[in-house]
Structure 1
Amino acid sequence: MKTNNRSVEEVFSNIPSADTTLVHEMIEKELQRFNHKIIVLDDDPTGVQTVHGVSVYTDWSLENIDRGFKEENSMFFVLTNSRGFTAAETTKAHQEIAANIVAAARKNNREFTIISRGDSTLRGHYPLETEVLKDTVEAQSDIRFDGEIILPFFKEGGRFTIDNVHYVQYDTELVPAGETEFAKDRTFGYTKSHLGEWAEEKSNGQYKAEHMTYISLESLRAMNMDLIEQQLLNVEDFNKVIVNAVDYTDVQIFTIALIRAINKGKHFMFRSAAALTKVMGGVSDKSLLTREEMMSDHTNHGGLVIIGSHVKKTTEQFEELKKSGAVEFVEFNVHLVLEPDQFENELNRVVETTNQFILQGKNVAVYTRRERLDLGADRKEEELKLSVKISDAVTSIVKRLKVRPSYIIAKGGITSSDIGTNGLEVKRATVAGQIRPGIPVWTTGSESKFPGISYVIFPGNVGTKTDLREVVEMLSSKSF
């Protein structure tokens, strides 16, 4: 069933306001009573788009998870990059992660909460990831999960859940998620926008929409904590809890009731976008990063932008970047992947040209050929293998850099993950903050190829049309 688009102004004018000062005081108190270590499993590096001052580990070894447990911060992130995995790889990774979390929690005598941070437009290995986590934790501990919280609200990206329907904002319109380009994703597609129906669809009918628990905007804005807490206390058999939200206030009110339910013995798994992590982790608001905060080593070298994502928003931002006088452009013809020798020559050309531009103090944008490689419906596996080869080649551009750029921007979730972990060889990074709403920046660790460099992780589906150009111009060593 199609749901009509809705006007942002009309929808938001009909939602009652809440006493934000009171909510702020209440959430602060409740978080002090919440002694869980929060481990956020990020299926691409964009999940840190609401936080700052937290660690991101790029592998899930027991050693690293133990380090995360020992940190003073209540929360740390583990980058899984599982959106780029097959189902089998995802299963294996999440079994290992869950086992290591249980072992580290036991060693540190600490209770924990796992948040599976997925895409705010509902793509990813769901419900596979949370089911594997649930089964593994339950098999290796005495924890039994009562339910799963589904909360894809992400204000910075214009993702709102209203009347249980998840929307993506396009200018002044709210479009149901199931009617956007994201729902047509070749790997993670779906048809439903109503989150209960979406969870039913994704679970192949194992969980029925009519039996799920729905946390309404009405009860959130009325601050009816007792009702919400009771709803959560009643959840059993790993049933789904759909949380409506249009503002951080809604997430804060929900979290107050949630912590109360958890402190009474309830156990939940979480599938959420980036907003919940900020609230549960008690992360304060922070101004957007300035050029001065990001450009610490005052090099005369140019910066590097790598564009891998093919979603419509990226293409629009790329077209806008072309209007900038701040950038030299290098196209990487990745379709030559079908001819290995030619592909190797093309990669060498791109690497050499990129090095020269950076050394000359010029900003360079390397972009993959914009047409998708399509071998036809019957050759999907082959296509996937080639896409991995392409991704490895794009990553190797950074790996083979001989000069340190003044900054690096990667456009697209999987692209930015591969460049961070393989190209820059980051083991642990600190989230410096955001350069634009929903666009995070890592400061790389001492072990990486370029220690202390500002690495901008620019999600494919986030930002205004001009954001990429404006960010590049802001970071450029030239003045505009």
Structure 2
Amino acid sequence: MGRGRLATLPPVRVVPAQRVREALAGTPTVVVLDDDPTGTQTVRDLPVLTRWAAEDVDWALAQGTPAFFVLTNTRSLGADDAAARDREVVRTCLEVARRRGVELVFASRSDSTLRGHFPLETDVIAQETGTPDAVILAPAYTDAGRVTLDGVHWLREGPDGADLVPVAESEFAADATFGYRSSRLADWVAEKSAGAITDVAELRIEDLRAGPVQLPSGRVIVLDAVVDDDLRAAVLAILAAERDGARFVYRVGPSFVRARVGQPEPPPIDDAELRGAVGDGHGLVVAGSHVGRTSRQLARLADRRDLARVEVDVPTVLDDGARDAHLDRAATQVESALGSSTTVLSTSRTRITGRDEAESLAIARRISAALTAVTARVVAARPPAWVLAKGGITSSDVATESLRADRAWVRGSLLPGIVSLWAPTSGPPLVVFAGNVGDDDALADVVDRLEAAACA
């Protein structure tokens, strides 16, 4: 398809978040099934669950928010396990909502660079809730420069963000588990469904900005979006259709969730709030992501500040005979280092993949489990002032296994629209930092803020 430049577009039609909030009166609560924790980075003051027992779902519904997240971590699972987990979550939520007399609508939140189980996850939701009129497909993540224009999904690059790279030409499309060839979302849907879904309609930018918006008919409806106003215009049309009896399942990136709950693009958490959120002392950075962006960010972090570095060697982790002793040494080193400096616990940067998607995913799970085990031991022995998890699977495993953060609140972002701060109901604060967002200085910038707050 080739690279392009952001063309002259129709003027943005301003749609205030307040208009969406007003339209939310009497609408169902949105349950966001998040396939890794990074979907929370565009919102604030919403509950997030990493466990979905009935009492946890009941707690989330009792908060009275327009939406809540359930961290399913299905991007780290094989297809059968992912389907079983989604089904369990949906059934539990529906049962609790029935007892409370509450209506629900479900969003499957996944990667803005199109990695994840599709259409499997929306199919499972549809099976449990009844066949929807359409699946709303909106992977845009406007803060991170992932936009959809003319039905094509792009990554914005360049100093002014005007250079457009088709997503299928990015490193993310070569993912060992969830790779793909198509940048036009209609073609991507056909590709990922092995040709089973070809009835795809596109809601183009011209229609969103001209208004009033009418949803097209299709089994899947692709939403163009360059800014949040585009998404809010679509959301108003979706809410109107739902009030008239239409039923949708959403397959979306982070920005749609913010638009759907009527939140504006918020500024990052200010210094005073951050000081109240973190503890005293030094923090722990846990890095499992292997994308090039994370490796560059780790290198820049090391250039900009003195810190301790403890590395988990991936080939040793995959050697059952050497694994345990290696992880014991790593935990001891991290515990010692935290007494005097920020400490980075990371995997070796050489990526090891399997013979196929399933084996590659199994390797990724073993590596993440090793990081999680070391982090859990460190948190128990010497709780850090904060924990920053870099990478989606890593963030999920740290939240669920290392910190046991069953319930938490998303408090906001540390950089504009990216990198979310969770306040678990117990334990240290958790910073969720996706592997594929931010410039080369972003990780160092976040750590500078956290260290300044913890030492204030």
What does residue 384 of structure 2 align with?
405
Name the aligned partner's letter for residue 366 of structure 2: K
Deviation at 1:189, TM superposition (A): 0.8
Deviation at 1:290, TM superposition (A): 3.2
Give 1 or 2 for the bigger CA radius of gyration: 1
Output aligned runs, 1:315-464, within 5 Å: 315-360=295-340, 362-374=341-353, 377=355, 384-401=361-378, 402-437=381-416, 438-446=418-426, 450=427, 453-464=428-439
CA contact (8 A) 1:123 1:189 kept: yes
Structure 2 stretches lacking a partner, 5+ long: none
Moved more, 22-31 or 182-191: 22-31
CA contact (8 A) 1:154 1:160 kept: yes
Name the aligned partner's letter for residue 431 of structure 2: V
- How far does the alpha carbon of each residue in 1:178-225 deviate from its partner, in whole angstroms, 9 at most, with x for none? 1111111111111000011111111111111xx322111001111232
Select the residue among 219, 232, 252 that pairs with 2:207.
Answer: 219
What does residue 146 of structure 2 align with?
159
Secondary structure (helix, strand or coil) at the match of 2:322 reads helix
Correspondence 1:119 to 2:111: yes
Q: Determine the C-alpha separation between the residues in 2 that align with 1:38 and 1:124.
A: 20
Query: What TM-score do the two structures reach when normalised by structure 2?
Result: 0.94
Query: What TM-score do the two structures reach when normalised by structure 1?
Result: 0.89
Output aligned runs, 1:244-323, within 5 Å: 244-296=224-276, 300-323=280-303
Q: Determine the C-alpha separation between the residues in 1 that align with 2:151 and 2:210.
A: 17
Name the aligned partner's letter for residue 459 of structure 1: A
CA contact (8 A) 1:151 1:276 kept: yes
Name the aligned partner's letter for residue 116 of structure 2: G
Select the residue among 17, 20, 24 that pairs with 1:31.
Answer: 24
Deviation at 1:102, TM superposition (A): 1.9
Moved more, 127-136 or 385-394: 385-394
Name the aligned partner's letter for residue 208 of structure 2: L
Moved more, 364-373 or 387-396: 387-396
What does residue 178 of structure 1 align with?
168
Secondary structure (helix, strand or coil) at the match of 1:476 reads helix
Secondary structure (helix, strand or coil) at the match of 2:263 reads coil
Deviation at 1:383, TM superposition (A): 5.1
CA contact (8 A) 2:318 2:366 kept: no
Select the residue among 184, 196, 215 that pairs with 1:194.
Answer: 184
Deviation at 1:328, TM superposition (A): 1.5
- Distance change >3 Å, CA 298–CA 7, structure 1 → 2: closer
Select the residue among 469, 473, 478 that pairs with 2:444.
Answer: 469
Q: CA RMSD in A?
A: 2.0
- How far does the alpha carbon of each residue in 1:160-185 deviate from its partner, in whole angstroms, 9 at most, with x for none? 00110000122242100111111111
- How far does the alpha carbon of each residue in 1:20-41 deviate from its partner, in whole angstroms, 9 at most, with x for none? 2x65554343223x42111001
Name the aligned partner's letter for residue 176 of structure 1: P
What does residue 74 of structure 2 align with?
82
Secondary structure (helix, strand or coil) at the match of 1:340 reads coil
- Distance change >3 Å, CA 169–CA 425, structure 1 → 2: same
Q: Determine the C-alpha separation between the residues in 2 that align with 1:305 and 1:77.
A: 24
Select the residue among 192, 205, 228 that pairs with 2:195.
Answer: 205
CA contact (8 A) 1:40 1:76 kept: yes
- Distance change >3 Å, CA 268–CA 100, structure 1 → 2: same
- Distance change >3 Å, CA 25–CA 48, structure 1 → 2: closer
CA contact (8 A) 1:291 1:475 kept: no
Q: Determine the C-alpha separation between the residues in 2 that align with 1:304 and 1:413.
A: 17
Q: Determine the C-alpha separation between the residues in 2 that align with 1:82 and 1:194.
A: 24
Deviation at 1:278, TM superposition (A): 0.9
Secondary structure (helix, strand or coil) at the match of 1:188 reads coil
Deviation at 1:341, TM superposition (A): 3.7
Correspondence 1:53 to 2:51: no
Q: Determine the C-alpha separation between the residues in 2 that align with 1:386 and 1:397.
A: 17
Structure 1 stretches lacking a partner, 5+ long: 139-143
CA contact (8 A) 1:326 1:476 kept: no
Moved more, 389-398 or 192-201: 389-398
What does residue 141 of structure 1 align with?
none
Deviation at 1:105, TM superposition (A): 2.2
Deviation at 1:103, TM superposition (A): 1.1
Name the aligned partner's letter for residue 84 of structure 2: K
